[in-house]
Structure 1
Amino acid sequence: MISIEKVQDKQELKDFITFPSALFHDDPNWIDPLIMEREEHLSTKNPGTDHIEWQAWIARKDNQVVGRITAQIDSLHRELYGEDTGHFGMIDAIDDEEVFSALFAAAEAWLKSKGARRITGPFGLNINQESGLLIDGFDTPPCALMTHGKPWYPQQVEQQGYRKGIDLLAYWMKRTDLHFSPSLSKLMEKVRQKVTIRSIRRKDFAQEMQIMREIFNSGWQHNWGFVPFTEHEFATMGDQLKYLVPDDMIYIAEIDAKPMAFIVGLPNINEAIADLHGRLLPFGWAKLLWRLKVSGIRTARVPLMGVRQEYQFSRMGPVIALLLIEALRDPFARHNIDALEMSWILETNTGMRTILEKIGAIPYKHYRLYEKEL
């Protein structure tokens, strides 16, 4: 018999956070997230909780945890899309339809009580955090801040009445495979004369983060499911990035001294924590710092990139994106980064997808966002 428990205390939260480690114990591509980071993510320290209300549940069978799920209401999402929206997230469970059904029943009942009639997900906790259910690409480990999953998840979620909303793609590129055709190089050289690309100014880090927030919110505002980043969210992100990302891996593009695009190259923290089993104590901190500062990380992810709306549909917009990607090539070489993931890209963003494929990137992971009318 399946029992569903609402997560309400520290022990239940611990069971919720650590369940995937048991579920994926035989998956060579699974990487345990840092428990400390997950605890903070699911606390008021997460700036997203300024506008997100959420609840979590765990499923038990024979006194063993066999599944988990969250449901959440995002007030910013409701301002844009209506007061009847809600979301689910962090779905993990054994291959058992009864377990999935019980978990979604609990989440949907809670969402209905909050006025939700349209549900999208999975998000953890909204679209600006880990998003999407992996449907292809199970044979490689996830990059930092991306999800992993079991092959049975898509079918089990669809059996609960959920259907495709939109798909997300992750592209992989070896640094040495990055190339620009003669025609692209010619376009880039022409635009380069009008654009200044500079690295982030460390002494003005907080202000620089807010500049990037404004660019991101401008450039992404018409995308599927968009929710704007708040000042608090980007400031908190900046506090993290300043310790993880070298100055020469964050670039801002300007035209006539006006910032209009940016890119962030994030060292793949998952590579550094793969053997820590989610724990920084007693020696995990030392290993993590050594790998970040001394032994190096060989892969990276571009988790944030944006071009102001006013340039997106001009000839310059795509070329500026290329110039920003090019700007990362030499820093990646200096930091011994051999390959990078560009993620995530909406399947409908044909302009960016075409650019990436033209310069040597290949789509290697495929995620799905689902939706359901209650």
Structure 2
Amino acid sequence: MTSGTQALSIKAVETAAQRDAFIRLPWTLYQDDPAWVPPLLQERRDHLNPRKNPFFQTAEARFWLALRAGRTVGRISAQVNHAHLARHGDATGHFGMLEAEDDAETFQALTATAEDWLRAQGMRRISGPFNFSINEELGLLVDGFAAPPYLLMGHARPYYAGHLEHLGYRKQKDLLCYHYDARREPPPPVAGLLRKAARLEELTVRAMDMGRYAQDLSTIMDIFNDAWSENWGFVPMSEAELQSLARDLRPIVRPQSIAIAELDGIPVAMAISLPNVNEAIADLDGRLLPFGWAKLIWRLKVKTTKTARVPLMGVRKAHQGGLMGAMLAFSVIDKIRRAQCALGVEHGELSWVLEDNQPMIRMIEAVGAVPYKTYRLYGRALAA
């Protein structure tokens, strides 16, 4: 644990230089951590930019730095997500982007600053980390530190959880990540269901059609918003967020690795697999210039990654449960698994899954995936 021999100060991020210090702090904290993957600096700048991130159309956020003798030693954000409040009405604000040296005073000062701002906005509870919403990177890594994070998943030092818990933060939910071998054929029970599904004349499982990319992505998000609507903390994607997602994903989408299942021509299930961009950028040190762009494009389009992440899978509520629901889910999962193998993918991550989503957990474990990482959401009441 570092010693706080010099006075600690908390500064709001207001200038370009402060924003740059906020973004670059992880380079200092993780410089000796082989599992950490440096994010792309330009992507981080865009993520924090209200003019470029549609999250800010329905949310407010503030950012702070912790400094000792002019040196950045910590950071945090606080958000009031009006889309979350409109759906849940729970007067809960969020914190995120938490990074800091191993020092109790720093964690206390950062969280207290975020709590004070949220309290002033009328919030009665605080929850996080959310970077920024439940549809983006979230949760604090509490198990699985040795493995590098996949695309849109975070990393942390083991001491982070202890500092938060010392400050009275308590677990709200655990989010599980599963590792799977894409080359492994489905076990006999699943293979039997797949054969049965293949005989259904009314069932079609197809890849994404890049000729109608926007329409297919909208269909996928419509299934997602229906399938996940009863999940803890769920907030549907807005049209602006969907358009931003469509723009951001297009350069890395492999259409054959996205599956849409239709019953009598009506889309009822989907699964998305994305190349693990973190594998491709791990040695770029966050920079795309002067040669990073060429390396990234070659690794994603020519060499291809050996790993992929499945961030979304869903079956419409009307078809969940029972034999048909299982056949739909396994059909879209196996469709993208086979596509991944053809592209040279060997391993992947299915993430994230709520710890109490037993139907999904049983399905994932039925195809041979094993849990290997845990991310935790923390919360506490905000005293008046």
Please give the range of the TM-score, normalised by the shorter of the 2 chains: over 0.9
CA contact (8 A) 1:178 1:361 kept: no
- Please say if 1:268 is aligned against 2:268: no
Q: Residues 208-219 of structure 1 correspond to what in structure 2 (within 5 A)?
A: 208-219=216-227
1:130-164 C-alpha deviation (Å, 9 max, x unpaired) = 01000000001000100000000111111121111
The equivalent of 1:40 in structure 2 is 46
The equivalent of 2:35 in structure 1 is 29
Q: Residues 55-74 of structure 1 correspond to what in structure 2 (within 5 A)?
A: 55-74=62-81
The equivalent of 2:367 in structure 1 is 359
1:100 to 104, 107, 111: 107
Secondary structure at the aligned position of 1:134 is classed as strand
CA contact (8 A) 2:257 2:337 kept: no
CA distance in 1 between counterparts of 2:78 and 2:294 reads 36
CA contact (8 A) 1:261 1:307 kept: yes
Instruction: Give the letter for the 1:333 counterpart.
Output: C
- Please say if 1:162 is aligned against 2:179: no
CA contact (8 A) 1:128 1:227 kept: yes
**CA apart distance, 1:52:** 1.6
The equivalent of 1:111 in structure 2 is 118
CA contact (8 A) 2:38 2:285 kept: yes
**CA apart distance, 1:168:** 0.2
The equivalent of 1:316 in structure 2 is 324
User: Which stretch of the first structure deviates more once superposed, 86-95 or 202-211?
Assistant: 202-211
The alignment's TM-score, normalised by the length of structure 1, stands at 0.97
Secondary structure at the aligned position of 2:250 is classed as helix
Q: Residues 134-283 of structure 1 correspond to what in structure 2 (within 5 A)?
A: 134-181=141-188, 183-192=189-198, 193=200, 194-283=202-291
CA distance in 2 between counterparts of 1:180 and 1:51 reads 45
**CA apart distance, 1:188:** 2.7
**CA apart distance, 1:83:** 6.0
The equivalent of 1:298 in structure 2 is 306
Secondary structure at the aligned position of 1:143 is classed as coil
**CA apart distance, 1:202:** 1.1
- Residue identity over aligned pairs, in percent, reads 45
Secondary structure at the aligned position of 2:251 is classed as helix
Secondary structure at the aligned position of 1:276 is classed as coil
1:319-344 C-alpha deviation (Å, 9 max, x unpaired) = 31111111012211221111110000
The equivalent of 2:18 in structure 1 is 12
CA distance in 1 between counterparts of 2:326 and 2:53 reads 33
Secondary structure at the aligned position of 2:373 is classed as strand
Inter-CA distance 69–178: structure 2 relative to 1 (3 Å threshold): farther
User: Which stretch of the first structure deviates more once superposed, 354-363 or 133-142?
Assistant: 354-363
CA distance in 2 between counterparts of 1:161 and 1:318 reads 41
**CA apart distance, 1:178:** 4.0
User: What 5-or-longer segments of structure 2 have no aligned partner?
Assistant: 1-6
**CA apart distance, 1:217:** 0.8
**CA apart distance, 1:190:** 2.5
CA distance in 1 between counterparts of 2:327 and 2:70 reads 57
CA distance in 2 between counterparts of 1:250 and 1:175 reads 15
The equivalent of 1:349 in structure 2 is 357
How many residue pairs align between the two structures?
A: 373
* CA-atom RMSD in angstroms: 1.2
User: Which stretch of the first structure deviates more once superposed, 226-235 or 312-321?
Assistant: 312-321
**CA apart distance, 1:102:** 0.2
1:281-313 C-alpha deviation (Å, 9 max, x unpaired) = 111111111111122211000112221122223
Secondary structure at the aligned position of 2:341 is classed as helix
Secondary structure at the aligned position of 2:94 is classed as strand
CA distance in 2 between counterparts of 1:251 and 1:204 reads 14
The equivalent of 1:132 in structure 2 is 139
Instruction: Give the letter for the 2:337 counterpart.
Output: R
Secondary structure at the aligned position of 2:183 is classed as helix
CA contact (8 A) 2:204 2:263 kept: yes
CA contact (8 A) 1:263 1:325 kept: yes
CA contact (8 A) 1:178 1:360 kept: no
User: What 5-or-longer segments of structure 1 have no aligned partner?
Assistant: none
1:115-138 C-alpha deviation (Å, 9 max, x unpaired) = 100111111001100010000000
